[in-house]
């Protein structure tokens, strides 16, 4: 992982961190300034680490180039007299000690960099996982809302169909009732206006109090205007009323 990618991941992590704080009700600007201050305070530390990083990279690049020189120096040391070789370990040890410290430091820096890269990779995977779960939740919510709308539309159509059926049934029942009343009324007045009706039947029909409409229509039919066209004579009906 190069420094540019590391910086890009840090900026992405910073934005997600601020988004989480803002979602939790924290002030985004305040925490952004706090991160800026911490980043500025850690600038010298980062610059030292960057310098060591570059030095380590240069050392890794120069290692294959200097491998032949190191082999030549080792061969030259093997040809030296024993006295010189006895003195050499001290001098060599004196030279190697700082280099060993440098190697330990660089290896420690490598471990820190690897740890940081691993943490960033882990955070990246977790962030992608969260985004995937959020997308799945949004899709599930959209499907649930669509099913709810479909159920509501089906219920509305069923309710409208039920109302139409009830209204049609009510109209049909009303028509049937009106037709039945009309037939009963026609049959009743045919019975009342027949030629062989007796006063006893008229009085019996009147005393039963079957229908107020019958009495009203009976009164209308006993009017002088109607009696002129009725087969019953006016004197007969008046006599019936008098009785």
Range of the domain at 204: 193-242
Asked whether residue 163 is domain-assigned, the answer is no
Place 104 in a pLDDT band, splitting at 50, 70 and 90: low
Counting residues of the chain whose pLDDT is more than 70, the rounded percentage is 64
pLDDT in tens, 78-87: 655 544 444 4
Q: Total domain count for the chain?
A: 1
Q: For residues 15 and 116, give the distance between their C-alpha atoms in angstroms, rounded to a whole number.
A: 18
pLDDT in tens, 112-170: 778 888 888 888 888 888 888 888 988 999 999 999 999 999 999 999 999 999 999 99
What pLDDT shows up at residue 80? Answer: 59
pTM for the model stands at 0.32
What pLDDT shows up at residue 225? Answer: 53
Q: For residues 205 and 209, give the distance between their C-alpha atoms in angstroms, rounded to a whole number.
A: 7
Asked whether residue 38 is domain-assigned, the answer is no
Asked whether residue 66 is domain-assigned, the answer is no
What pLDDT shows up at residue 171? Answer: 92
Asked whether residue 47 is domain-assigned, the answer is no
Asked whether residue 222 is domain-assigned, the answer is yes
pLDDT in tens, 60-94: 766 555 555 555 566 566 655 544 444 444 444 44
Asked whether residue 68 is domain-assigned, the answer is no
What pLDDT shows up at residue 83? Answer: 43
Asked whether residue 221 is domain-assigned, the answer is yes
Asked whether residue 16 is domain-assigned, the answer is no
């Amino acid at each position: 992982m190069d420094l540019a990618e590391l910086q890009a991941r840090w900026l992405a992590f910073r934005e997600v961190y601020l988004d989480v704080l803002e979602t939790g009700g924290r002030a985004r600007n305040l925490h952004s300034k706090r991160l800026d201050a911490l980043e500025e305070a850690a600038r010298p530390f980062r610059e030292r680490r960057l310098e060591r990083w570059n030095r380590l990279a240069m050392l890794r690049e120069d290692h294959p180039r200097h491998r032949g020189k190191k082999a030549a120096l080792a061969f030259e040391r093997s040809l030296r007299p024993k006295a010189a070789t006895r003195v050499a370990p001290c001098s060599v040890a004196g030279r190697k000690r700082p280099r060993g410290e440098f190697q330990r430091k660089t290896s420690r820096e490598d471990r820190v960099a690897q740890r940081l890269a691993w943490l960033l990779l882990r955070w990246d995977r977790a962030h992608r996982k969260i985004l995937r779960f959020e997308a799945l939740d949004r899709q599930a919510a959209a499907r649930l809302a669509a099913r709810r709308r479909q159920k509501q539309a089906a219920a509305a159509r069923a309710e409208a169909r039920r109302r139409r059926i009830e209204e049609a049934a009510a109209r049909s029942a009303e028509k049937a009732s009106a037709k039945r009343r009309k037939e009963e009324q026609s049959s009743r007045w045919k019975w009342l206006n027949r030629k062989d009706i007796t006063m006893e039947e008229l009085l019996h029909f009147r005393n039963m109090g079957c229908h107020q409409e019958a009495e009203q229509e009976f009164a209308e039919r006993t009017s002088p205007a109607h009696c002129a066209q009725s087969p019953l004579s006016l004197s007969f009906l008046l006599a019936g009323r008098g009785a």
